[in-house]
């Protein structure tokens, strides 16, 4: 849910391409290659109450180890 307050605070977008004007965004970064992605429920560990888009992005993106 992109309207969730916490997601908004982290500049979450449903389509990573929409983050291209964010200084922290680098091409290729998306939720489903982020350390916080949860493949089993299409979720994010930072937003446990909400689902996020596989192709989404937010400024807390961290590469998977
Ligand atoms: Fe997507 Fe990672 Fe941000 Fe969660 S922390 S919304 S998985 S980019």
Placement of tokens 């807390």 in the chain: 60
Where are the domains positioned within the chain?
1-65
Tokens of 46: 């930072």
Sign of CA dihedral 60, 19, 47, 51: negative
Closest to 31 (Cα-Cα) out of 10, 53, 2, 49: 53
Say how many Å lie between the CA of residue 23 and the centre of ligand 1: 16
Question: ipTM surpassing 0.90, yes or no?
Answer: yes
Q: How many CB atoms sit inside 10 A of residue 32's CB?
A: 15
Where is pLDDT greater, at 48 or 39?
A: 39
**pLDDT band for position 3 (cuts 50, 70, 90):** low
* pLDDT at residue 30 in the model: 98
Say how many Å lie between the CA of residue 31 and the centre of ligand 1: 5
**What pLDDT, in 10s, does the model give residues 13-38?**
999 999 999 999 999 999 999 999 99
Are 58 and 7 in contact by the 8 Å Cβ rule? The answer is yes
Name the residue at shortest CA distance from atom 4 of ligand 1: 44
**pLDDT band for position 43 (cuts 50, 70, 90):** very high
Asked: is 1-65 a CATH 4.10.490.10 domain? The reply is: yes
């Amino acid at each position: 849910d992109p309207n969730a307050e916490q997601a908004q605070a982290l500049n979450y977008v449903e389509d990573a391409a929409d983050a291209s004007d964010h200084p922290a965004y680098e091409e290729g970064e998306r939720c489903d290659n982020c350390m916080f992605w949860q493949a089993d429920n299409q979720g994010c560990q930072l937003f446990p109450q909400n689902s996020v888009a596989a192709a989404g992005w937010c400024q807390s993106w961290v590469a998977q180890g």
